[in-house]
Amino acid sequence: MSGVSEALSRVKVGTLRRPEGPPEPMVVVPVDVEKEDVRILKVCFYGNSFNSGKNFKLVKCTVQTEIRDVIASILLSGRIGPNIQLADCYGLRLKHMKSDEIHWLHPLMTVGEVQDKYECLHVEAEWRYDLQVRYLPEDFMESLKEDKTTLLYFYQQLRNDYMQRYASKVSEGMALQLGCLELRRFFKDMPHNALDKKSNLELLEREVGLDLFFPKQMQENLKPKQFRKMIQQTFQQYASLREEECVMKFFNTLAGFANIDQETYRCELIQGWNITVDLVIGPKGIRQLTSQDAKPTCLAEFKQIKSIRCLPLEEGQAVLQLGIEGAPQSLSIKTSSLAEAENMADLVDGYCRLQGEHKGSLIIRTKKDGEKRNSLPQIPTLNLEARRPHLSESCSIESDIYAEIPDETLRRPGGPQYGIAREDVVLNRILGEGFFGEVYEGVYTNHKGEVINVAVKTCKKNCTLDNKEKFMSEAVIMKNLDHPHIVKLIGIIEEEPTWIIMELYPYGELGHYLERNKNSLKVLTLVLYSLQICKAMAYLESINCVHRDIAVRNILVASPECVKLGDFGLSRYIEDEEYYKASVTRLPIKWMSPESINFRRFTTASDVWMFAVCMWEILSFGKQPFFWLENKDVIGVLEKGDRLPKPDLCPPILYTLMTRCWDYDPSERPRFTELVCSLSDIYQMEKDIALEQERNARYRPPKILEPTAFQEPPPKPSRPKYRPPPQTNLLAPKLQFQVPEGLCASSPTLTSPMEYPSPVNSLHTPPLHRHNVFKRHSMREEDFVRPSSREEAQQLWEAERLKMRQLLDKQQKQMVEDYQWLRQEEKALVRRKPSKGRERTCPDTTAGHLLFLNNFTYFFYFWLCWVFVSAHGPFSSCGKLLYICNAQSFHGSGFSCCRAQAFGSLGFSSCGSQALEHNLSSCGAWA
């Protein structure tokens, strides 16, 4: 096992090093700075601090500096700890921050090779270099005890992975144990019973934060008091442990949930036939795991491996070949990508260096230009470094949109060839990147001298003949198409590099156009886009052509009112066949019908399904369908009967049409000719609705905007004035109880001025004086209107008293007239039919009527006075006596019958009533 000194012995002559004194940051400097390209790498590492922003080191190097020298400079700097013995356990990882792309850098690679091979694929700022402990000794727990720095570094690395990947998956008990172990380790000088005090725990929570020790999800599920109690109880179990004991306990506890000393890869073993297994690589060798419960089967030990080779395959796959000592053939492992195969090769090679007898690399290098390289094979960059900064956002291909469905057969389309001169096309900026190459904006000059803006699709120079035929198949399809809503093909250049020249549309892809203009686009326009694409698909249906990739990313916007269907790279003629069976290619799973996913069966009915998904995209302003699912989960959702939900702005009748297109049975789906008719009707209906809304908005009266400060509701409109009927006899037969106009309110004085006119006439009628105009209030209204002063009350009383006197005089006069009329009628009756009994009864009856009317008048007047007095709270005590005294001017026969009731209603007791009556009688108040 080599140390840091052995690693430094491989550093070049131009490397500077301080031999004595405390550890200093290692600076790698070239001999001739003017001849070599100097770079500064920012390498991140794990530290015993919560401030992760300071855990990095800048390493100055050249393009010829090897990765092992960069690692050695960090270990010698002392930033991660002193006295590192297990230097061969460390590796350097290159991680892309915006994706899951990871590359383990082989120690013999140079910085320049890393730059040309990996960094050019993305922006430099999106990459991060991480120092990791990757290669572990066979008995790593005992071996790491000899190197405390590496032990703590591996613990911090493992704990970081736990918090990011496993913390939300473990049980609450395990999460509490692991969190308390870190508490004990980090605060190693803290007293054993420190957390028993509530104030200490609150301080820890406030100043440090419990999120660094315990998963956030567990804190949200538990009540704070309960959570603190559980921490105190669990911490007591580990309060006496030392730092190294906490680390070992952490390893043992987490090992029961996850593999902490090995890496697992999902791959295929090639042994005459392909077997999908989980390949486990760790200190114990290379083993396969066919199921989770099964015991791993050892395939090879690291001491038996003699060679390692990575071979790329088509479609991005690769094969890792391991030469085994004594085996008749090498162990072949098929991976999903070349990067995964290289990561496995670096892992196996690292364990061979750590456990094997030799310290060199077992990876067999490829030859280039007749010379054997001393580094890993280089991936062609295709000049992406110079072109990548000019790529637009709309050109990136989402890796989760297309997935592969393999097939053993291959259909290769053919067709007539035609072309244009390359010198007639001038390329400008890059618009994007496709499967086969870049897409450029250009200018084409035809034979008439007309200048046309075009889009040029290019094919890579080193592509295979098979890929070139696939690239040309789009042109073969498009040259026979002629429709106003299909992208127009200008020409083809078949000589390498192969170009396809098409008409350029300035508004770009429909998906990005919808996202940019979603606030201004109307439903009518979205339905129009759907109708235009449906017409294009009906045209393809008529010529027996399936598109297989109908989506907003493949639709171009020619104008705000016109879209065109493009990208016929997956299109095929089905001719007389009922369906087309797809070959090995990348297909848009989330847009495909169930039969296309399961059986690679493509028909016009499957295009109908995809067209409905495309309509859903349009009505959702470019959202990806099933964006909440992975490709592998889509078919399960579809087979359960679930479909895409209705977009918010989608008309219900249009969504109903979508669901018809998403019928599981292809024969039940409508054809495009029927869809064109249905969409035309929906478009006309939406157009009529839009015209009606515009018409209503045009003739709508202007809206009165009130200030935002007024939050109270508007006042209720005033009630209409009461119009009393014509005055008649109080005993009119048509009314049970008819009173004069003065009795329409609770009291004659309960009138109020119209100071607050109704909203109808408030803008035209000036406010009126209080004493001139009055409105009526009913008894059910909240309050009576009170006079503002004693003088005003007296004036109101005098006016009402005069009015009442006139009314009573009028009634008395009418009573006299009635009495005279009755007397005349009585005399007339006596003359017609003389009778003594009649003569005696008639006067008595008439007198009784008169007595009743008299008493009723007095009683009514008294009641009216009592109501008036009750309504004037400030003058109730004086007013009551005043009005009783004023009653002396009337006859006491009717009034005296109500004296007891009057005093009782005024609030006097029986004794007080007699005394008051006596005093009033002495004053002549009572008749």
Domain CATH for 609: 1.10.510.10
Find out whether 556 and 507 touch, Cβ atoms under 8 Å. yes
Q: pLDDT digits over 844-859, tens only? A: 455 555 555 566 665 6
Q: Are residues 471 and 582 in the same domain?
A: yes
User: Could you tell me which residues come within 8 angstroms of residue 93 by beta carbon, excluding any fewer than 6 positions away?
Assistant: 102, 103, 104, 105, 129, 130, 131, 132, 134
Please say which residue of 318, 342, 372 terminates a domain: 372
Confidence of residue 439 (pLDDT cuts 50, 70, 90): confident
Q: Strand, helix or coil at 571?
A: coil
φ, ψ for residue 191, nearest 5 deg: -60, 155
φ, ψ for residue 751, nearest 5 deg: -100, 155
Confidence of residue 717 (pLDDT cuts 50, 70, 90): low
Q: Are residues 475 and 591 in the same domain?
A: yes
Question: Which of 349-363, 379-393, 466-480 is predicted least confidently?
Answer: 379-393
User: Could you tell me which residues come within 8 angstroms of residue 416 by beta carbon, excluding any fewer than 6 positions away?
Assistant: 476, 479
Find out whether 77 and 121 touch, Cβ atoms under 8 Å. no
Nearest CA-CA partner of 340 in 286, 399, 268, 401? 268
Residue 797 has pLDDT above 70, yes or no: yes
Q: Residue 143 domain-assigned?
A: no
The CA–CA distances, whole Å, from 159 to 136, 237, 256 equal 16, 20, 15
Give the model's pLDDT for residue 91. Answer: 94
Q: Residue 659 domain-assigned?
A: yes
Q: Are residues 368 and 233 in the same domain?
A: no
Give the model's pLDDT for residue 156. Answer: 92
Residue 408 has pLDDT above 90, yes or no: no
Print the SS3 string covering 237-292. HHCCCCHHHHHHHHHHHHHCCCCCCCEEEEEEEECCCEEEEEEEEECCEEEEECCC
Tell me how far apart the alpha carbons of residues 777 and 500 are, in angstroms, rounded to a whole number.
89
Question: Which of 143-157, 299-313, 637-651, 703-717 is predicted least confidently?
Answer: 703-717
Give the model's pLDDT for residue 134. Answer: 92
Percent of the chain at pLDDT above 70? 66
Domain count, the chain: 5
Mean pLDDT estimate for the chain:
74
Give me 609's structure tokens.
Answer: 């399904």
Q: Are residues 154 and 131 in the same domain?
A: no
Give the model's pLDDT for residue 896. Answer: 45
Confidence of residue 834 (pLDDT cuts 50, 70, 90): low
Tell me how far apart the alpha carbons of residues 553 and 104 are, in angstroms, rounded to a whole number.
34
Tell me how far apart the alpha carbons of residues 14 and 7 are, in angstroms, rounded to a whole number.
15
Confidence of residue 174 (pLDDT cuts 50, 70, 90): very high
Q: Strand, helix or coil at 572?
A: strand
Q: Are residues 459 and 580 in the same domain?
A: yes
Q: pLDDT digits over 619-643, tens only? A: 999 999 998 888 888 888 888 889 9
Give the model's pLDDT for residue 882. Answer: 43
Q: Which of 194-198, 252-256, 490-494 has the highest mean pLDDT?
A: 252-256
Tell me how far apart the alpha carbons of residues 309 and 880 are, in angstroms, rounded to a whole number.
119
Query: What b/e sequence results for 202-231 when a residue is b if at least 16 CB atoms lie within 10 Å of its CB, and e otherwise?
Result: eebbeeeebeebbbeebeeeeeeeebbebb
Confidence of residue 9 (pLDDT cuts 50, 70, 90): very low
φ, ψ for residue 146, nearest 5 deg: -80, -20
Q: Are residues 126 and 157 in the same domain?
A: no
Tell me how far apart the alpha carbons of residues 804 and 799 are, in angstroms, rounded to a whole number.
9
Q: Residue 400 domain-assigned?
A: no
DSSP string, 330-349: -EEEEESSHHHHHHHHHHHH
Tell me how far apart the alpha carbons of residues 162 and 132 are, in angstroms, rounded to a whole number.
15
What is the DSSP pairing of strand 438-445 with strand 402-405? unpaired
Q: Are residues 582 and 647 in the same domain?
A: yes
Which residue bears the tokens 């202007």?
702
Find out whether 246 and 238 touch, Cβ atoms under 8 Å. yes
The CA–CA distances, whole Å, from 485 to 419, 533, 537 equal 23, 7, 9
Nearest CA-CA partner of 61 in 72, 75, 52? 72
Please say which residue of 666, 687, 708 terminates a domain: 687
Give the model's pLDDT for residue 586. Answer: 67
Q: Strand, helix or coil at 502?
A: strand
Percent of the chain at pLDDT above 90? 23
> Which residues line the annotated binding site?
457
Q: Are residues 539 and 656 in the same domain?
A: yes
Half-sphere exposure of 594 (CA within 13 A, CB side): 16
Q: Are residues 664 and 578 in the same domain?
A: yes
Q: Are residues 164 and 110 in the same domain?
A: no
Q: Which amino acid is at 684?
A: Q
Residue 612 has pLDDT above 90, yes or no: yes
Report the CATH number that the domain containing residue 101 is assigned in CATH.
3.10.20.90
Give the model's pLDDT for residue 449. Answer: 79
Question: Which of 187-196, 256-265, 441-450, 810-819 is predicted least confidently?
Answer: 187-196
Q: Residue 722 domain-assigned?
A: no
Nearest CA-CA partner of 179 in 192, 193, 189, 166? 166
Q: Residue 470 domain-assigned?
A: yes
| Dihedral of alpha carbons 528, 532, 533, 535, sign | positive
Burial of 55 from C-beta contacts in 10 A (0-12 / 13-18 / 19+): middle
Confidence of residue 456 (pLDDT cuts 50, 70, 90): confident
Find out whether 561 and 528 touch, Cβ atoms under 8 Å. yes
Give the model's pLDDT for residue 572. Answer: 61
Q: Are residues 455 and 578 in the same domain?
A: yes
Nearest CA-CA partner of 539 in 570, 571, 513? 571
Question: What is the pTM for the complete model shown?
Answer: 0.41
Average pLDDT over residues 269-274: 76
Question: Which of 161-165, 380-384, 545-549, 791-795 is predicted least confidently?
Answer: 380-384
Give the model's pLDDT for residue 839. Answer: 45
The CA–CA distances, whole Å, from 623 to 196, 398, 514, 615, 833 equal 53, 13, 9, 11, 108
Find out whether 113 and 98 touch, Cβ atoms under 8 Å. no
Q: Residue 384 domain-assigned?
A: no
In DSSP terms, which residues pair with 295 in a beta bridge?
none
Please say which residue of 84, 102, 135 terminates a domain: 135
DSSP character at residue 896: H
Confidence of residue 750 (pLDDT cuts 50, 70, 90): very low
Catalytic residue numbers read: 549
Average pLDDT over residues 874-880: 45
Q: Residue 774 domain-assigned?
A: no
Confidence of residue 718 (pLDDT cuts 50, 70, 90): low
Give the model's pLDDT for residue 412. Answer: 39
Question: Which of 556-560, 671-675, 762-766, 799-803 is predicted least confidently?
Answer: 762-766
Residue 329 has pLDDT above 90, yes or no: no
Nearest CA-CA partner of 11 in 62, 76, 63, 72? 72
Give me 232's structure tokens.
Answer: 């105190």
Q: Are residues 745 and 885 in the same domain?
A: yes
Give the model's pLDDT for residue 720. Answer: 54
Tell me how far apart the alpha carbons of residues 282 and 136 are, in angstroms, rounded to a whole number.
8
Give the model's pLDDT for residue 50. Answer: 61
> Which residues line the annotated binding site for ATP?
457
Find out whether 44 and 129 touch, Cβ atoms under 8 Å. yes
Q: Which of 51-65, 251-265, 648-662 has the highest mean pLDDT?
A: 648-662
Measure CA 217 to chain center: 20
Which residue bears the tokens 């997935």?
403
Q: pLDDT digits over 93-138, tens only? A: 999 988 889 999 999 999 999 999 998 888 888 899 999 999 998 8
Residue 825 has pLDDT above 70, yes or no: yes
Report the CATH number that the domain containing residue 251 is assigned in CATH.
1.20.80.10
DSSP character at residue 93: E
Give the model's pLDDT for residue 70. Answer: 93
Find out whether 350 and 340 touch, Cβ atoms under 8 Å. no
Q: Residue 172 domain-assigned?
A: yes
In DSSP terms, which residues pair with 587 in a beta bridge?
403
Q: pLDDT digits over 156-165, tens only? A: 999 999 998 8
Domain holding 334, by residue range, is 263-372
Q: Strand, helix or coil at 14?
A: coil
The CA–CA distances, whole Å, from 521 to 314, 526, 698, 724, 782 equal 43, 7, 20, 62, 54
Give the model's pLDDT for residue 453. Answer: 86
Average pLDDT over residues 425-441: 81
Q: Which amino acid is at 45?
A: F
Tell me how far apart the alpha carbons of residues 185 and 174 are, in angstroms, rounded to a whole number.
16
Give the model's pLDDT for residue 709. Answer: 47
User: Could you tell me which residues come within 8 angstroms of residue 184 by beta carbon, excluding any fewer than 6 positions away?
Assistant: 190, 235, 238, 239, 241, 246
Q: Which of 372-381, 653-662, 907-916 has the highest mean pLDDT?
A: 653-662
Higher pLDDT, 183 or 446: 183
φ, ψ for residue 368, nearest 5 deg: -140, 125
Q: In what order do the strands lie in the sheet with 499-503?
A: 425-433, 438-445, 451-458, 499-503, 489-493
